[in-house]
Amino acid sequence: MSRAPMRAGDTELDIAGRVVDLVTRLAGPAAQAEVTVTRVESALTRFANSAIHQNVAASAVDVRLRVHLAGRTATGSGNAVTTDGLRALVERVLTAARFTPPDPAWPGLTPATPVAPVPDWDPAIAHAGPEQRAALVRAFVDAAAGLTTAGYCRTGYRVTAFANSAGHSAQGQAAEAAMDGIARAGGADGTARQHVDRLADLDGTGLGREAAAKARAAVHPVELPPGRYPVVFEPAAVADLLENLAWYGFNGRRYAERQSFAAPGVAQFDRAVTLVDDPLAASGLSFDLEGTPTRALTLVDAGTTRAVTHDRRSAAELGVASTGHAWAGSPTFGPIPRNLRLAPAGTAGAADPTGVFLAGGQGLGGPAVDGAIGDPDTAALVSRMGRGLLVSDLWYTRVLDPLSLVVTGLTRNGLWLVEDGRITRAVRDLRFTESYPRALAPGAVLELGRRAVRLPDRVDGVWWEAPPLRLASWNFTGGASG
């Protein structure tokens, strides 16, 4: 039976169900349809020159429809949720399906499947206004104590509903907040960033203090020759490793196409490395874009690769089950882990190479560089390094060889020389060229920190979580200019 015309008060799940019914009415029961309806409430406060210069907010509903009809598949989306708007979307996608090439690899729809209850989410984020974000910005600016600052504070809330013509439906909501800021001292920059699922946990003061301390510690850098150096990576730098491993290594499509280094069952990483993708760890949705339930998925367990991520299409190609990683970019980029965590030392499944944790930054350099280390976790790793580099952040990273995941990029926002466990000088930024799997290979990971930090991605709903990391070697190939 078809549903009634659109009416005020319809929920996202009502809208999804109506679209599925409309496909059946217009194309017949042989048409397979899946619909995702997402309502997003997002807001952003930007600041520059230590003052807020922009407040923006957006409220939108997106309806995404995928139809498989007569052996052909088509996808479309729209944001008009009126009766006429939904009908236009369905007619447009059905027309496209009649003209697209055959799709013999169509994996079928997700059957009716139990979905876990929605994780707790923070209403304070959903109701946050410009005043709350401005207070966090003010705290950041004040904590920088006179340095020029810039950055953003964002809050977001989304409600998502799914329905398909196989009788499966699900709904949920999620909220997140993030802050990313920079402080500048004498041409040197320091940054700090944080991703949270509770607004009260967003620490503008702590972030501003950290960014400012790093900036002051990074002035008057010296030149170092290229070469291989032992390194301590702060969490922000580790996040770049996780992001590239996610896109190019644990991507089920690349794995199916033999374009990934991943080899399940093989000890490809040091025993200190345990990687888990866990969308439910931060109030995420409990299902993906195809309605498949999501769960924590261990990709690497104590150094041994265990899995890659799949949507229904890549899973069907290999004869396995979807891991719940379908997203809007899956048809183009493949299914990827988007909430990837490197387990800290001392946690379940993670090795603790030293068994030692120092309470503070013993043995560091003088006042000019002490601020390079914002937490005792990183300080402990630095204190146990002979001669090497402390790396705050990586950027402009580009993949040179996807199969071995050789990446080139630059350091930024702070690089320091360590000698005998002491930070002695700030260093000018360096270019690197390194295979990320090789850098994390057996014997290459000397130590992990004990506290993981969750860092925001450019895309809402995506984050990376990691402790600081001490590596035996990192290949620096030149200065920032070449």
Rounded Cα distance, 247 and 315, in Å: 17
Residue pLDDT, tens place only, 237-258: 999 999 999 999 999 999 999 9
pLDDT at residue 120 in the model: 85
Low-confidence winner among 52-56, 349-353, 426-430 (lowest mean pLDDT): 349-353
pLDDT at residue 140 in the model: 98
Over range 50-73, report the average pLDDT. Answer: 97
pLDDT band at 7 (very low <50, low <70, confident <90, very high): very low
Q: Side chain identity at 398, as an amino acid letter?
A: R
Residue pLDDT, tens place only, 275-319: 999 988 877 789 999 999 999 999 999 999 999 999 999 999 999
Residue 137 — left, alpha, or beta (φ > 0 → left; ψ -120 to 50 → alpha)?
alpha
Instruction: Check pLDDT > 50 for residue 24.
Output: yes
134: nearest Cα among 164, 179, 101, 173: 179
Specify the pTM: 0.92
Q: Where are the beta strands (DSSP E) in 211-288?
A: 227-233, 275-277
Two structure tokens written together for 331: 């048809």
Over range 343-348, report the average pLDDT. Answer: 78
CB 392 within 8 A of CB 412: yes
pLDDT at residue 282 in the model: 75
Which has more confidence, 366 or 154?
154
Instruction: Check pLDDT > 90 for residue 9.
Output: no
Strand-pair partners of 179: 153, 194
pLDDT at residue 365 in the model: 43
Percent of the chain with pLDDT over 70: 92
Q: How do strand 188-196 and strand 169-185 relate by DSSP bridges?
A: antiparallel
Rounded Cα distance, 452 and 298, in Å: 17
Q: Within 10 Å of residue 459's Cβ, how many Cβ atoms?
A: 11
Rounded Cα distance, 410 and 481, in Å: 10
pLDDT band at 369 (very low <50, low <70, confident <90, very high): low
The DSSP 8-state label assigned to residue 258 in this structure reads T
Residue pLDDT, tens place only, 139-189: 999 999 999 999 999 999 999 999 999 999 999 999 999 999 999 998 999
Strand-pair partners of 30: none
Which runs of consecutive H residues, i.e. helices, occur in 1-112? 12-27, 83-99
Chain mean pLDDT for the chain? 92
Instruction: Check pLDDT > 60 for residue 37.
Output: yes
Angle at 21 between CA 18 and CA 27, to 5 degrees: 135
pLDDT at residue 346 in the model: 75
Rounded Cα distance, 162 and 13, in Å: 7
Instruction: Check pLDDT > 90 for residue 124.
Output: yes
Over range 92-98, report the average pLDDT. Answer: 97
The torsion defined by the Cα of 27, 106, 252 and 281, in degrees rounded to 10, comes to 30
pLDDT at residue 482 in the model: 59
pLDDT at residue 230 in the model: 98
Instruction: Check pLDDT > 90 for residue 228.
Output: yes
Angle of helix 83-99 versus helix 12-27 axis, rounded to 10: 50
Domains of the chain as residue ranges with CATH: 12-217 (3.30.2290.10), 227-479 (no CATH)
Strand-pair partners of 64: 36, 77
Length of the chain: 482
Rounded Cα distance, 420 and 361, in Å: 13
Instruction: Check pLDDT > 60 for residue 43.
Output: yes
pLDDT band at 458 (very low <50, low <70, confident <90, very high): confident
